[in-house]
Amino acid sequence: MSDYLNKILSEVKAKNPAEPEFHQAVQEVAESLEVVLERHPEYRSAKILERMVEPERVIMFRVPWMDDQGEIHVNRGFRIEMNSAIGPYKGGLRFHPSVNLGILKFLAFEQVFKNSLTTLPMGGGKGGSDFDPKGKSDNEVMRFCQSFMSELYRHIGADTDVPAGDIGVGAREIGFLFGQYKKLKNEFTGVLTGKGLNWGGSLIRPEATGFGAVYFAQEMLKTRGQDVEGKTFAVSGFGNVAWGAVIKINQLGGKVVTLSGPDGFIYDPDGVKGEKVDYMLKLRSSAKDAVKDYADEFKVEFFPGKRPWGVKVDVAMPCATQNELDEKDAKTLVDNGCVCVCEGANMPTTLEGYRVFENAKILYSPGKASNAGGVATSGLEMSQNSMRLPWAADEVDNRLHEIMKRIHETCVVTAERFGSPGNYVVGANVAGFLKVADAMLDQGLV
Ligand code: NDP
Ligand code: 2IT
């Protein structure tokens, strides 16, 4: 990296200590921007990157709530409003005990580039809480969501900041959050996405991230004359994203042989299909955080404490969480003949893992490109809410498919234009950056 970029990275590290995931996300983007900043000194003199690594606004708040036994708990709530150059802040809410400021800043930073790639007018944000939904009753989750929204409501709005789901936040939580927002504001607007179908939600939104990621993998494989049909896939996670990916892989004739959870992974050589896909929904709603039940139910092998990357497959789709695939895993995948790694989660591969894929020249897409279908469909939900007209499932799915093809094309063309043909990381970072940077230049020093 140039001295200029190294200086920015050092300053980010000094100013934001103890936020390793944020440093990692900034470093990955900075490495991609070398050529852009050489060719475009106007971005340097306007200090665009220096401005982009500083959130426009960070909101942190107390979330007190009472459990079913009458005991009081206090969690911490966050919303990072990272960049609004191209639209209202947009991005999910994560409820997981690992949530802290640095993790949400990395996610908000990634979201800015991802949303820019979708072609829709959305800025970037992320939020959440260190609340652990594991083992909580519906009533406890409701009281928590109501308390969380009692503060968040004053900072968001359909034209200001539009949160959605992420890890630990699905249809149930969005419902409770929306109910409380409506009550406090006395307004029925598209302030959240991922809503229920009867009250403003979009068809295909639950499936969209996984569907979009598989459409992206299909486009990547096409560049090498290959297809999803007949390929075996290792998928990690068993949540919303993994579920959507498994459905679409099956529809396109591929076979998924693994799923994983914090407890380990399952290997199902016959493929996760049919009733087994529906069982994934049961696993999630059991709130047990374990994938082992799948192995017990369908009599397949379970590997406790292990990740699925040692299984010989054609395509790997990490769909669980950040840094779940490291250098050693990457080498194993490459040695086993894996031809494509398509990220469904946000930053699931470490920087060292990415370098292994880069050197091996296998197809590798960063989450900000390949998982953008979720937020893109959130953007389509916002459009439907503004029009007060719902679209049919086919219409949403076709638009999602077109958007993913366009993101793929943009990554390929941009990577080539900036001297890194075939590198989807460079393509995604540079294309995402250019649109936001130009909007920031247009709008002056704000
Ligand atoms: P879910 O809560 O539905 O599922 C998350 C999965 O990852 C679960 O299997 C979960 O297990 C596992 N997981 C979470 N944290 C950890 C951890 N620290 N260690 C091991 N496993 C973990 O979330 P989603 O499917 O929505 O999200 C998965 C990934 O996709 C995340 O990276 C998210 O940011 C990303 N994403 C989500 C989008 C969406 O629309 N939902 C859009 C784009 C990206 P458990 O909860 O049991 O720990
Ligand atoms: O990481 C993501 O893109 C999401 N969790 C979805 C965000 C959204 O606003 O739909």
As a whole number of angstroms, the distance between CA 154 and CA 414 comes to 39
Question: Which residues fall within 8 angstroms of residue 285, CB to CB, at 6 or more apart?
Answer: none
Q: Could you tell me the pLDDT band of residue 289, with boundaries at 50, 70 and 90?
A: confident
One-letter-per-residue 3-state SS of 232-297? EEEECCCCHHHHHHHHHHHHCCCEEEEEEECCEEEECCCCCCCHHHHHHHHHHHCCCCCCHHHHHH
pLDDT surpasses 90 at 287: no
DSSP-based three-state secondary structure for 114: helix
Q: Is the pLDDT of residue 223 over 90?
A: yes
pLDDT in tens, 70-127: 999 999 999 999 999 999 999 999 999 999 999 999 999 999 999 999 999 999 999 9
Q: Look at the chain and count its residues.
A: 446
User: Could you tell me the CA-to-CA distances from 199 to 113, 193, 262, 388, 389 in Å, in that order?
Assistant: 30, 11, 33, 11, 12
Q: What is the pLDDT of residue 228?
A: 98
Q: Is 70 exposed, middle or buried (0-12, 13-18, 19+ CB in 10 A)?
A: exposed
**77 bridge partner residues:** 61, 129
Residue 346 CA, closest ligand 1 atom number: 32
Cβ of 239 below 6 Å from ligand 2: no
């998924």: which residue's tokens?
256
Please spell the DSSP secondary structure of 179-192, one letter per residue: HHHHHHHT-----S
At 138, is the pLDDT very low, low, confident or very high (cuts 50, 70, 90)? very high
Q: What is the mean pLDDT of residues 150-160?
A: 98
Tell the residue nearest (CA) to atom 15 of ligand 1: 321
Rounded to two decimals, the pTM is 0.97
Residue 288 — pLDDT band, cuts 50, 70, 90?
Answer: confident
Q: Which residue has the tokens 């609340």?
A: 131
- Tens digit of pLDDT for each residue in 328-358? 999 999 999 999 999 999 999 999 999 999 9
Domain annotation for the chain: domains and CATH numbers? 3-191 (3.40.50.10860), 208-365 (3.40.50.720)
Bridge partners of 266, per DSSP, are 259, 302
* CA of 302 relative to ligand 2 center, distance in Å: 30
CA contacts within 13 A on the Cβ side of 19 = 24
pLDDT in tens, 19-45: 999 999 999 999 999 999 999 999 999
Distance 318 CA to ligand 1 centre (A): 10
Mean per-residue pLDDT of the chain: 97
Q: Is the CB of 423 under 6 A from ligand 1?
A: no
**What's the rounded Cα separation, in Å, for the pair 446 and 427?**
27
What is the Å distance from ligand 2's center to 116 Cα?
13
Would you place residue 285 in the very low, low, confident or very high pLDDT band (cuts 50, 70, 90)?
A: confident
- pLDDT tier, 66 (very low <50, low <70, confident <90, very high otherwise): very high
Closest CA to 52 of 25, 79, 88, 76: 25
